[in-house]
Amino acid sequence: MSHRRFPGGRLVVATHNPGKLVELRELFAPFTHDLVSAGELGLPEPEETGLTFIANAELKARAAATVSGHTSLADDSGLCVTALGGDPGIYSARWAGPDKDFRHAMQRVETGLKAKGLKTSPAYFICALSLGFPDGTCETFEGRIDGTLTFPPRGTRGFGYDPIFVPEGFDTTFGEMDPAAKHAMSHRARAFAQLIAACFDA
């Protein structure tokens, strides 16, 4: 199956999340240095009305590409907790509230588990990356990493729910990991590897 290639030049990252932007800048450094965020361009944040990570990623990518006139990349990702029926899932950012307080969001997860008499649960992160073009087409890829939750949160690296997530095969949280180690195996890294192989020139 052939995929549409990134034409070069400016790449707009459809995010207003500074932590996510830092990760993506590091990942894309070998492929383009003309990377700018939707926040930096003052683009509005579209309402995430999709019911899946892929639908929301494509919605954001199309919106940024249409308004900016440049190829745009959108990421939709979140934490899915097995014992909570997959929540917070696509609502992961919204659980942090309007102030993006992920300490509150992690507390909500812990409270939900305690209500079920649990201290932890299997969980996984999903990341959908969508490369959107000004004509409305998209190339989208999804990555996943499984693990377990730990409380209280540990580590100050990363962002979001990273301090409570321990990936399979490790005893440290994403919040404790060296960023390079996380980038090598995270859900975002797995989606990114598919995207690069399909749409970018090495």
pLDDT value for 202: 63
- 178 as an active site residue: the answer is no
Give the tens place of pLDDT for each residue, 1-45: 789 999 888 999 998 878 778 878 887 888 876 889 998 899 988
Q: What integer is the mean pLDDT of 149-167?
A: 95
- Alpha carbon distances (Å) from 184 to 39, 56, 147, 170, 189: 26, 24, 16, 13, 6
CATH of 11-199, one of 2.40.160.50, 3.30.360.10, 2.30.30.30, 3.90.950.10: 3.90.950.10
- Alpha carbon distances (Å) from 121 to 60, 116, 143, 164, 168: 31, 11, 20, 11, 13
Cα separation, 154 vs 162, in Å, equals: 8
Q: What is the pTM of this model?
A: 0.90
How far the first Cα of the chain sits from its last, in Å, is: 19
Give the tens place of pLDDT for each residue, 44-58: 888 889 999 999 999
Catalytic residue among 75, 76, 87, 162: 76
Domains of the chain, by residue range, sit at 11-199
Q: What integer is the mean pLDDT of 147-157?
A: 96
